[in-house]
């Protein structure tokens, strides 16, 4: 299987993963700064992925004991919502805030190199699928300046952030969703290895995972998926564990229950019908499996889903 074919399958599968995660974009602040400055972002709840798009200037982000140098056009995302520090120059300066049409702008009194940066969050709305975020790199640094579409996208985002007209925040939200897709498309070209590229750089694993994502409710066996991957059962199980960070059946169960949770939240199907669609022979068996996975019954999860927007403000 050629590399471009593998990556095409990857993009199709990423679409499915993003559909399950049901990400909602939330812009936190537009930074209009001058060095020196020093900002600390405390850890966030699971299912919260911080992102920073550097529109102008330079800065450094420190997280997990490492430092990452960013320049204009770079996109940085922390899928685990980890603590991180953003700084430029030595020392700090005083801050001031201004809010117009829902967009917060942060300024300071520094006198060094100017910086323009958009900071926001991709929030997992399908809380049952939160663990699927671990497939994405943590952290993810993508030099989007190398992507042909980026200059136009950054120009639009920058213009809306600067003008902050009525409706600007809605436009920025939509553009940042496109930004995420561009970033994920680009990660196949990054030198660092992570779970996503590990799963799809192996043709056999790519075939098996594509099959799983296309129909997560099929009665898969490890032996059957090993045949799809053209591997022995032991080799397939070992490679999948190394690449995905979990056993194949654990991954399938999480995927299946996440999709079931999405059906419960977004449709009026009876729990018994969802149980049947997800491959369970009885509603009781489905209830037990769902509660074992998430600690809550399907019926209660559905009731909580009626308050989806409120749920976004509490921990997952």
Which pLDDT does position 249 carry in this prediction?
94
Which pLDDT does position 189 carry in this prediction?
66
> What are the chain's domains?
23-191 (2.60.120.280), 202-311 (1.10.10.60)
Per-residue pLDDT of the chain (316 residues; tens, 9 = 90+): 445 545 454 667 777 888 888 888 888 899 999 999 999 999 888 889 999 999 999 999 999 999 999 999 899 999 888 999 999 998 888 899 988 777 888 999 989 999 999 999 999 888 778 888 878 888 888 887 777 777 788 888 888 887 878 888 888 888 888 888 888 877 666 666 677 778 877 889 989 988 998 888 899 999 999 999 999 999 999 999 998 888 999 999 988 998 899 899 888 999 999 999 988 889 999 999 999 888 889 999 888 764 443 332 222 2
Which pLDDT does position 103 carry in this prediction?
80
3-state SS string for the chain = CCHHHHHHHHHHHHHHHHHHHCEEEEEEEEEEEECCEEEEECCCCCCEEEEEEEEECEEEEEECCEEEEEECCEEEEECCCCCEEEEECCCCCCEEEEEECCEEEEEECCCCCEEEEEEEEEEECCHHHHHHHHHCCCCEEEEHHHCCCHHHHHHHHHHHHHHCCCCHHHHHHHHHHHHHHHHHHHHHHCCCCCHHHHHHHCHHHHHHHHHHHHCCCCCCCHHHHHHHCCCCHHHHHHHHHHHHCCCHHHHHHHHHHHHHHHHHHHCCCCHHHHHHHCCCCCHHHHHHHHHHHHCCCHHHHHHHHCCHHHHCCCCC
């Amino acid at each position: 299987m050629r590399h471009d074919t593998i990556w095409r399958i990857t993009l199709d599968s990423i679409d499915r993963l993003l559909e399950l995660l049901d990400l909602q974009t939330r812009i936190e602040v537009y930074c209009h700064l001058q060095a020196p400055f020093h900002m600390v972002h405390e850890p966030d709840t699971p299912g919260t992925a911080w992102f920073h798009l550097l529109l102008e200037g330079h800065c450094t982000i420190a997280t997990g004991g490492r430092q990452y140098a960013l320049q204009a056009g770079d996109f940085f995302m922390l899928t685990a919502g980890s603590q991180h520090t953003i700084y430029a120059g030595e020392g700090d300066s005083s801050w001031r805030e201004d809010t117009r049409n829902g967009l917060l702008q942060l300024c300071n009194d520094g006198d060094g190199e100017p910086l323009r940066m958009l900071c926001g969050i991709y929030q997992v709305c399908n809380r049952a699928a939160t663990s699927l975020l671990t497939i994405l790199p943590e952290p993810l640094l993508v030099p989007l300046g190398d992507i042909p579409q980026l200059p136009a996208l950054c120009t639009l985002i920058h213009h809306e952030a600067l003008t902050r007209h009525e409706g600007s925040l809605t436009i920025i939200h939509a553009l940042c969703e496109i930004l995420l897709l561009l970033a994920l498309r680009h990660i196949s070209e990054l030198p660092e290895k992570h779970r996503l590229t590990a799963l799809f750089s192996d043709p056999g694993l790519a075939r098996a995972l594509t099959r799983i994502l296309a129909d997560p409710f099929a009665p898969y066996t490890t032996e059957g998926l090993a045949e799809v991957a053209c591997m022995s059962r032991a080799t397939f199980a070992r490679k999948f564990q190394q690449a995905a960070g979990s056993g194949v059946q654990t991954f399938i169960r999480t995927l299946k229950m996440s999709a079931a949770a999405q059906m419960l939240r977004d449709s009026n199907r009876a729990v018994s019908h969802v149980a049947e669609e997800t491959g369970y022979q009885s509603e009781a068996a489905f209830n037990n499996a769902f509660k074992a996975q998430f600690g809550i019954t399907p019926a209660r999860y559905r009731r909580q889903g009626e308050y989806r927007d409120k749920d976004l403000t509490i921990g997952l």
